[in-house]
Chains A and B, each alone.
Chain A
Amino acid sequence: METSGRDGVLPPMVVTPFSMTPGPPASAITWGLHLPRARADSGPSDLALLGCYNNSASEASGHGSDCSEDPTGAGAMRVAVIGAGVIGLSSALCIHEQFHSLLPSLQLEIYADHFTPHTTSDGAAGLWQPYLSDHGNLQETLWNKETFDYLLGQLHSPAAKEMGLFLISGYNLFTEPVPDPSWKNIVLGFRNLTPKELELFPGYSYGWFNTALMLEGRSYLPWLTNRLTQRGVKFFHKKVESFQELFSQGVDVVLNCSGMRAGNLQPDPELQPGRGQIIKVLAPWVKHFIITHNLKSGIYNSPYIIPGSEFTVLGGIYQHGNWSEENSAKDHKSIWDSCCRLLPALQKAKIVGEWSGLRPARPSVRLERERIRLGNLQGEVIHNYGHGGFGITIHWGCAMAAARLFGSVLQDKRQLSTPPGPRL
């Protein structure tokens, strides 16, 4: 059993895994709510009527076979999030923010085998930037935009520093002209590079300049953890082996934010590792991100330099299908040589670390509901994984979408007559 010291930030309420307790079938969810049907002129004040009453069994009506008595009397709505990376933590926060006042019995639990600073999200530099092309996936572009706008709105809040959030400008470099990216109007001040600027980067003849955001996982994940802990969300240091395991313990809804390991919970051949390796250096004179692109080698297989608040990340490795999380000497040399060619002053930079991680790559993000039935066990799973190398970039849009899916789950369970959350 790994201790919290090795596995990073664990909030105070860590509970060791418990064995399955005998009790009512997991499908028993007693709500006993009597809710007014939604009226056309329903407004925010109507939401106040949607209070959830535990144990008012007298009002239970017409729930059919889903309804059976709950002898424990808890009537809790248990939601388990699998994964404590940026996706798991932000989805949990979003759901708690939107539903806890409507559902006082909401019990949110986070299960993970790794916590910050040992998650994939912690290894990422934290730069907000989607891939070059969205391949027509407008939904993902919208989620990226929602994330950027949300973060931009947080920039001037007192929380920004603690979140690890700040503005950063920089360069994207190409060896030939390319079409503008889907995100050109999302970032600030997007423009093409001038000939004088291109002089800085011999070998590159085209490029972009824009101002974007950094959201450093090393700060953001602890910040999310603190917000969740304050809200009474419980954390469990446990490697979940199956959805059934949670349902049989009385969990009602599972949020599958397991990233690279989603395949262990449910086979998904579309989910493949996009292995990356980075070198951390001290180069505080570098104030811009510099991302080069080689259209033939593919995304992130060309050197990039991303200055953070404490160190600068050098990278340029993307190996599809490689599961190794060991640092490779060959990759180290490739990153070092190519980045020093890009910025000669880096030769004097001190190396302070190295890290390899697996981007949970998928042709598109899996963000959808699934009703799982196994014997007499059933439960709802909301999948939210497969964010590749743009997890931080897209996380909040996905968290809000997951929250909307959760709302629809509640609606199906007739918990709420209208889904809460922002009215679009």
Chain B
Amino acid sequence: MASPKVAVVGAGLIGLSTALCITETCPSCSVTVLSDQFSPNTMSDVAAGMLIPHTYPDTPIHRQKQWFKETFTYLFAISNSAEASEAGIHLVSGWQVFKSPPKEELPFWSDIVLGFRPMSKAELQRFPQHRFGQAFTTLKCDCPPYLLWLEKRLKATGTQMYTRKVEDLWELRREYDIVVNCAGLGAQQLVGDKELFPVRGQVLKVHAPWVKLFIRDGDGLTYIYPGVHRVTLGGTREKGSWSLSPDAGTTRDIFDRCCSLEPSLQGAQDIEVKVGLRPSMQCVRVQREVLSQGGVKLPVVHNYGHGAGGFSVHRGTANEAAHLVGECISVLQGSSSRAKL
């Protein structure tokens, strides 16, 4: 097999970063990205893109930590390079505050972010309703810039990208040797995964350029994340809701909650309301599978179900998925050489 043809389904954060990893680990591959949506209309575009991991209940912690570490290291290097502004990657410092004691004093990622430490008493005084806090510096990926930058990198490798709604993975069998499923929430229909469910998140993107620090309530519901041009205010976690329509009452509620953490937001301008559905599962599915139908085989690599933590682990899971694609190729090359004998 001279040039394995790989189709990546999905052009959100996971699809694009996985495609890019595949071109890096398997330069002989011909990679094509297929998606019904591209940036700025993917679910990933709604997210703030903060590197603060979400803990997946059923994925071993060491694996999550490895994914986060790889992602952080990768983005850290970009943030420190001349490409930082184009890629939309930047460092941001701030505070995570808790009303009641956090489950863990030291989250598994505390030694990966920069300068992690408990907040001082003077810092906590800014948050009279909160009694505990953590201060650290992490990275943020602004979208659309980051996704557009990934697309640019992909095009430079010769990767083709097509707008196409894939209804069934089997329809790709004739044109492609391997299919990589990065369809996010779409995997529910595409591969019939019943473990996957949406967690609706509404956010406000506002103009408040004086906000330089992030503030996050440890309950994960209220957060203020300053991006390159806009500040993302959030949010909600509505399990099972598929509604993509903004809710006015929710907008008011998010704004009020954020203003109580950062009163100067009262002066925020140009409020844009966005809704995203987190493609959630108990664990991220990064897995190889061989589909079989009437004697025909289709190697598939899954990489979906990142829920609230996609940005934090995207590069790590993309690396793992690319590695699995490599395994698929080895198997195919093994069987094709056997076929020749």
Contacts and interface: CB of A to CB of B under 8 A. Distances in A.
Top 9 A-B residue pairs of the complex, sorted by shortest distance between their CB atoms: A345-B84, A161-B267, A285-B90, A166-B210, A309-B210, A169-B93, A344-B82, A285-B228, A345-B85
Contact of B228 (A167, A211, A214, A284): A284
B250 interface: no
Nearest to A160: B264
Contacts of A196: 114
A345 B80 CA distance: 7
A144 to B, nearest CB: 16
A344 B91 contact: no
Contact of B115 (A156, A157, A194, A307): A194
Interface stretch (B10-18, B117-125, B235-243, B289-297): B117-125
A48 B281 CA distance: 69
B94 to A, nearest CB: 8
Contact of B90 (A287, A310, A344): A287
B114 A189 contact: no
Contacts of A209: 93, 115, 137
B166 interface: no
Nearest to A162: B267
A237 to B, nearest CB: 31
Given A284-B228, A285-B88, A287-B90, A161 B212 contact: no
A211 B94 CA distance: 9
Contacts of A193: 115
Nearest to A161: B267
B212 A287 contact: yes
Interface in A164-218: 164, 166-169, 188-189, 191, 193-194, 196-197, 199-200, 209, 211, 214
Contact of A161 (B82, B115, B264): B264
Interface in B165-198: none
Given A345-B82, A348-B85, A169 B213 contact: yes
B211 interface: yes
Interface of B: 79-86, 88-94, 114-115, 117, 119-120, 122-123, 126, 135, 137, 142, 209-213, 226, 228-229, 263-264, 266-267
Interface in A340-355: 344-345, 347-349
Nearest to B230: A284
B212 A168 contact: yes
B212 to A, nearest CB: 5
Given A157-B263, A161-B266, A285-B89, 15 more contacts: A161-B264, A162-B267, A166-B211, A167-B213, A168-B212, A169-B137, A169-B212, A189-B117, A189-B120, A189-B122, A194-B114, A209-B93, A288-B93, A344-B84, A345-B82
A200 to B, nearest CB: 6
B212 A166 contact: yes
A345 B83 contact: yes
Contacts of B90: 285-287
B85 A285 contact: yes
A22 interface: no
A344 B92 CA distance: 17
Given A211-B93, A344-B80, A345-B84, A167 B120 contact: no
Contact of B81 (A164, A191, A286, A344): A344
